[in-house]
Each structure stands twice: as C-alpha cells, then as structure tokens.
Amino acid sequence: MVQRVVPDVVVRRLTQYYYALRHCQERGVEVVSSQRLGEMLNVTAAQIRKDLSFFGGFGKQGIGYHVGSLLEHVQRILGLQQEWPVALVGLGNLGRALLQYPGFAQEGFQIVALFDTDPRKVGTTAGQLVIRDNNEIAQVLPAAGVRIAILALPPDEAQEVADRLIQAGVRALLNYAPITLKVPAGVWVRQMDPLLALQSMTYYLVRVTG
C-alpha cells in the first residue's frame, strides 16, 4: 500500500502502537506479532497490519515485527524524534497542574512559554517561567518556533486566544476549554473535555439491563 492519504483514525492508533512498542522494549521483548500487539491494545491483528502497511512493510512473514526497528519507524512517522516547544495559555488550577505534569517533558514536549490575562498573575513565575500577558503571544511564539499550544482557560476566552495563537504560527491546539474552536484548514485541534466523556457514558449507564 504505502502512504496514500492516511485516515486520522490510523494516525491516532499509531500513537497507541508507539506506547505498546515501548512497553515491549522496556521488557526486553525483541519481536512482536500483530496478534500480540492487538491483545495489548484491544485491536484486531488485521487492523494493525493494515495500519502499518500504510507506511511500509515493517514486518517479517513467519516472524513478526522487530520491536526496536518498528519503534524507530513509528517514532519518525509521528515526528517524535524531535523536541517540540509548547506554549501553555491559562494558569488556573488546571494550567498549573499541567505545568507540573512531568509527562510532557519526558515525551519531548517542553513547555517554554506561559500566558494569562490576569494582571495578578502576569509577571509572576510558575515552574521557572515568567507568565506573560496574552497580548505578547505574537512577539514571543514565532521567535521561539512554537507550533503547539495548550489551552487551559475559560470557554469565553478560548476562541480569541486560539485566533491569536494561530496568527502567531501555532498549528496544533490541545483544547481543555469546553467549546468547539473554529480554526482554518491546516490547524489541528484535539478536544480534552472530561465532562463530554462522562456524559457520553451516562447514556449507557441508564440503559444497562440487569
């Protein structure tokens, strides 16, 4: 097959494969089958083979996939061989918790700029970084080469801030505000809303039979 337009679902699953493969590597597993990988992730073996075939034939018939080499390929495909500088907007409870979270840096997402509108916060520091006013976004981000931002702010400010960020060169938004952002083509958004997630599960809870 090899690289026609890859559906977004496939890209998302690829990130899961990435984790599973690292899990294997940490445990010293050198070879893994699509079968085994599927069991780890609740995905069918055929699905995994088809997904990977979008990018090339990484496996060996009769054997399976070499963990180390597949991992490298997947890492490159996802663009994870490099560090990504990230901006964080909004330093309320959530923003501060995200800033504390070591996972971002561990995975190569370095938070390098903080923004807020609250004059009581602007100028203070949080985790080594000075919090700047939102209106400095345009000056700071392009120079820092930031193309990813995390939005942890109230819904009524989110769209305006998103516009500014995009103006400043940001192309990927991790949005914690419970609002559907309008963005031009070429900008990607992932919605992180725990309430939507809960509310879509209660649907099933009220329908449980037995």
Partner DNA sequence: CACTGTGAATTGGTTCACAGCC
Partner DNA sequence: GGCTGTGAACCAATTCACAGTG
- Which stretches of the chain bind DNA, using CB under 7 A? 1-2, 7-10, 33-35, 43-47, 49-50, 52-53, 57-65
Nearer to a second copy, 4 or 204 (CB): 204
Per CB under 8 A, contacts with a second copy among 88-107 are 93-94, 96-98, 100-101, 103-104, 107
Q: Indicate left, alpha or beta for 156 from its phi (over 0: left) and psi (-120 to 50: alpha).
A: alpha
Query: Residue 72 Cβ, how far from DNA at the closest point, in Å?
Result: 15
**In the chain, alpha helices (H):** 8-26, 34-41, 45-53, 67-78, 93-100, 103-106, 137-144, 155-167, 194-205
DSSP codes of every residue in 106-120: HTTEEEEEEEE--TT
The residue type found at 33 is S
Nearer to DNA, 49 or 164 (CB): 49
- Nearest Cα to Cα of residue 85 among 138, 164, 144, 38: 144
CA distance 12 to 74: 12
Query: Residue 119 Cβ, how far from a second copy at the closest point, in Å?
Result: 22
The answer to whether the CB of 122 falls within 8 A of the CB of 132 is yes
| Binds 2: which of DNA, a second copy, none (CB < 5-8 Å by kind) | DNA
Query: Residue 34 Cβ, how far from a second copy at the closest point, in Å?
Result: 16
Binding site for a second copy (CB under 8 A): 8, 11-12, 14-16, 18-20, 40-42, 77-80, 84, 86, 93-94, 96-98, 100-101, 103-104, 107, 109, 147-148, 150, 171-172, 174, 178, 180, 182, 186, 188, 190, 192, 194-206, 208
